[in-house]
Structure 1
Amino acid sequence: MDAPPAYLAFDAATRRLRLDPHEPAFVQDPYPAYRWMQAKARCVFWEDFGLWCLAGYDDVNRLFRDKRFGRERPGGYRAAVAATGERRHLADFDAVEAGSLLELEPPAHTRLRTLVNRAFVSRQVERLRPKVEALAHRLIDGFGNSGRAEAIRDFATPLPAAVIAEMMGLPTASGLQLVAWSNDMVRMYMHKPGPAEEHQANASARAFADFIRRHAAEKRKSPGDDLLSLLTAAAEDGQKLTEDELVSSAILLLNAGHEATVHQTGNAVRTILAQGGDPGRFFETPEATAATVEECLRFDAPLHMFTRYVYQEAEIAEGVVLRPGEQVGLLLGAANRDPLVFAEPDAFRPGRPDQKNVSFGAGIHFCIGAPLARLELQIALKTLFDRLPDLRLAETPAYSDIYHFHGLRRLDVAFGPGSVTR
């Protein structure tokens, strides 16, 4: 691959890359750009983000585990954001982020993760299987017999939202409101959010925090066997969890409990339909279903960049030395298709022997919700294609301009009239 995609400019002498992440061609298919990086420069300075980025699997996987790098901003979240300029209009958003498990390192990270981890271990998550299966069937029943549905709105979004709301001990009917608040907040992680997005993110963070505080107060009076009751009891202790940490942890779990799964479900349906033939071949056994989900996670992941702060001077590539306080971008979407690691990386091959995607991260920040996400994806995809084996695209789906997330705007599907009836 000699010529880069037309929308990409690269200076080989300085390894500086110019690539607008909002470029439509990149939004719809980022993989040609990743292929070019891996062939020409696996470590680049992405000018649009202002940081060095790694595109190779081994580099990404290694840096996830390297303790010289981490998620917590040097000096702490509040001090760091105060130094970035005027942020009073983001006070509520910053209050939530400051106590987020995702933004902390040990010992605070260890303390918070230990509290919530037991709810997400595989044996606990497996107990949810009957409920998730029943919910998947109800959502498909709701498609009706018109022969068409919008699968992001009608299936991919409500399923994980309802599951995580129930795990938290919140009304399942509140799921779509939680999704709306979450969508507003995560826009702050995208490339250059504007003033309107910032104000909306702050308003939603405030409403979300108030919602959690109200329900936490109810859990103190009448605790149950749910995650919010667990977090509330820990906050009562005082040594384990503060009230602010309670709010931040609950919001993080609710956001992370559905956001990526929605994108991955839509991406996976699109990918499977693109293979042609009988989709049932991918779900003939539990082992085949699990392998299909893993390949979907590798082939078209829902998160394409994750960042780390530098804590100690480190050389991340030959001649590229980063100093404390700088950031580095890990390109998960590229790493998952590294030709040095995966045979035929651009081919969809469930059960491949070289399956080891980094879509859930690695190291101490490995996604705590990975067992739940895998369960939901396995059930959702198998149920969908078992019920609607003639499912097909009604319109060509388009990806949303939400980098570094990667998911479809909508997914219009068609199926035989009357297929939904059980």
Structure 2
Amino acid sequence: MTTTPFPFLAIDPTSRRVSLDGRNPDFYRDPNPVYAALHAHCPTFWWEEQKQWYFTGYDHVNGLLRDRRFGRQILHVATREELGLPAPQDHVRHFDAAEAWSLLELEPPEHTRLRTLVNRAFVSRTIERLTPEIIALCHQAIDRFEKDGHVELLSAFADILPVTMIARMIGIPDEMGPQLLKWSHAYVRMYMFGRTREDELAADRAAREFADYVRGVIAERRAEARDDLLSHMVHTEHKGQLLTEDELISTTIVLLNAGHEATVHQIGNAVRTILETRADPATLFADAKTTERTVEECLRISAPVHIFQRYALEDVELDGISFRRGDKVAMILAAANLDPRKFSDPLAFRPDRDEGANLSFGAGIHFCIGAPLARLELNIALPILFQRLPGLKIAKAPAVKDVYHFYGLEALELTW
């Protein structure tokens, strides 16, 4: 057994067994040093508490995300009985229904069909047209608190920009923003380590209410199309097929959730990183190129989503480990971003870094469809924030949310 400086982490490099309490605040508040220890001793490991194999190496994670021998679904190639999977649970039936046609959970050909219909709205040249709207939203939000000299940034700024933009793109009115945030926060607790039955019931309730609301908006767009993404999805055929109502509901919910949840976290993470490292905003945001590099380095070192999981669709061997069809494997995206074989001095914030792409948005067919929008929002919002509020400082040590495997702050209190 390898000794580590972390009392909550035990590593056996010989057997590649790791014991790590994912709910320990000393881990989820700052997981990067733990990831560094894993890279040093055991980059591919069996996580005892999660009863699953995890990969942290950049090349392995990047390869696994693209490997067609693995997939997000398994029941399209095997039955529950064959795999020994439990029956669906009735108390989360609404959540399961909302997830049934999620882009995040499907494999081709269904994934290809749904993604093709949605993709046009998220390509970079289409997203760039939103620049004036994003700029205006940033300034409007800052106008409301600039004179105060202090702000809780997440609620006053980070929450507002991404949820407003994704809602407008889909065709949901701005005033629904606060409710969308409530549904989303309850919904995504289904993905957290150590979720409780209360979390599951709250997620199921949110899924039911969310789906009922979206169903009503779909009915309006069927009756009268508008210039929005939902109308496009309702009325556009792909190879002679229209999306079913269930497909429309799942796709809308995943776009609304994924379209803001990670970006809210990343705005907070990036501002915290910049302020705590005492980097000079004038240098970081001197021009478009330095801004882009700053954003990418913030994404690399403080990724908002840490884990992505897939099933082995066939018997396969990887890094000396034999997987049977139906086995689940997990990739720690945030740890891959810290692989010293890929990034020099990986725990250091170096905005001038030019060592290749981070994996914060994934890779392969499930690469985040909203990445161009998230990147544009970050490239616009961060420079405006630091330009409008010179002398920005952290007023109170920020607390990290107990929501692993997401990574974000409870609040970010700032002064200037």
TM-score (norm 2): 0.96
Map 1:136-175 onto structure 2 (within 5 A).
136-175=138-177
* Matched-pair contact (CA < 8 Å) for 1:148–1:412: yes
- Between 199-208 and 14-23, the greater mean CA deviation after superposition: 14-23
How do 1:80-119 and structure 2 match up within 5 A?
Answer: 83-85=85-87, 87-119=89-121
Distance 2:75 2:249 in 1: 23
Change (3 A) 1:237 1:170: farther
CA distance in 2, matches of 1:130, 1:20: 45
3-state SS, counterpart of residue 216 of structure 1:
helix
Name the CA shift for 1:236/1:327 in 2 (closer, same or farther; >3 Å). closer
Residue 282 of structure 1 deviates from its aligned partner by 0.6
- Does the 8 Å CA contact 2:183/2:210 hold for their aligned counterparts? yes
Show CA shifts across 1:206-258 (max 9, x none): 00001111011111122111111011114899723111000000000000100
Q: Which amino acid aligns with 1:341?
A: K
Which position in structure 1 is the counterpart of 2:275? 273
Q: Give distance in 1, aligned partners of 2:25 and 2:85.
A: 33
**2:29 paired residue number:** 28
Which residue identity lines up with residue 306 of structure 1 in the other structure? F
Query: Could you tell which deviates more after superposition, 67-76 or 117-126?
Result: 67-76
Q: Compared with structure 1, are the counterparts of its residues 19 and 321 closer, same or farther at alpha carbon in structure 2 (3 Å cutoff)? A: same
The one-letter amino acid of 1:327's match is K
Give how far 1:286 is off: 0.9
Q: 1:343 to 1:30 in 2, by over 3 A?
A: same
**Contact 2:113–2:238, Cα closer than 8 Å, also in 1:** no
Letter of the 2:55 counterpart: L
Q: Residue 291 and residue 367 in structure 1: after superposition, are their counterparts in 2 closer, same or farther (change >3 A)?
A: same
- Rounded to whole Å, the distance in 2 between the matches of 1:298 and 1:278 is 19
CA contact (8 A) 2:307 2:332 kept: yes
Q: Given that residues 263 and 408 in structure 1 are in contact (C-alpha distance below 8 angstroms), is that contact kept between their aligned partners in structure 2?
A: yes
CA distance in 1, matches of 2:3, 2:340: 16
CA-to-aligned-CA distance 1:125-177 (integer Å, 9 cap, x gap): 00000000000001111114221100011111111000001001110111121
Identity of paired residues, percent?
50
Distance 1:291 1:238 in 2: 43
Q: Distance in 2 between matches of 1:195 and 1:115?
A: 36
2:217 aligned partner, one-letter code: H
CA distance in 2, matches of 1:92, 1:235: 27
CA displacement at 1:346 relative to structure 2: 1.1
SS at match of 1:294: helix
Q: Which residue of 1 aligns with 2:12?
A: 11
2:343 aligns with: 342
How far, CA to CA, are the matches of 2:52 and 2:191 in structure 1? 15
- Does residue 324 in structure 1 map to residue 325 in structure 2? yes
1:277–1:64 Cα change, 3 Å? closer
For the residue of structure 2 that corresponds to 1:53, the secondary structure is: strand
- 2:54: which partner in 1? 53
8 Å Cα contact 1:149-1:412 kept in structure 2: yes
Q: CA distance change for structure 1 residues 405 and 78 in 2, over 3 Å: closer, same or farther?
A: farther
Matched residue SS, 1:100: coil
Structure 2 residue identity aligned to 1:260: A
Distance between the aligned counterparts of 2:116 and 2:138, measured in 1? 30
Which of 177, 185, 188 is 2:187 aligned to?
Answer: 185
Quickly say closer, same or farther: Cα 1:364–1:143, change in 2 above 3 A.
Answer: same
Q: Counterparts of 2:351 and 2:86 in 1: how far apart (Å)?
A: 45
Contact persistence 2:80–2:86 (CA under 8 A): no
CA distance in 2, matches of 1:255, 1:164: 9
2:244 aligned with 1:242, yes or no? yes
Q: Is the 8 A contact 1:74 1:311 kept in 2?
A: no
Segments of 5+ residues of structure 1 without an aligned counterpart are 416-422
- Aligned mates of 2:79, 2:219 — CA distance in 1: 26
RMSD: 1.9
Query: Does the 8 A contact of 1:31 with 1:334 survive in 2?
Result: yes
Q: Quick one: structure 1 residues 76 and 95, their matched pair in 2 at CA, closer, same or farther if it must change by over 3 Å?
A: farther
Counterparts of 2:242 and 2:70, CA distance in 1: 25
Q: In structure 2, how many angstroms separate the alpha carbons of the residues matched to 1:236 and 1:326?
A: 33
Q: Give the counterpart of 1:229 among 231, 250, 254.
A: 231
CA distance in 1, matches of 2:8, 2:165: 40
Q: Which residue of 2 aligns with 1:358?
A: 359
Tell me the distance in 2 between the aligned counterparts of 1:123 and 1:177: 30
Letter in 1 for 2:357: K
* Post-superposition offset of 1:192: 2.7
Aligned to 1:418: none
Which residue does the alignment assign to 2:391? 390
In structure 2, what residue type is equivalent to 1:149?
Answer: V
CA distance in 1 between counterparts of 2:88 and 2:341 reads 45
Q: 1: distance between equivalents of 2:268 and 2:79?
A: 36
State the 1:13 CA deviation: 3.5
Residue equivalent to 1:211 = 213
CA deviation after TM superposition for structure 1 residue 12, in Å = 3.2
CA drift at 1:4: 4.8
Kindly report which structure 2 residues correspond to 1:250-289, keeping only aligned pairs within 5 A, or say none: 250-276=252-278, 278-289=280-291
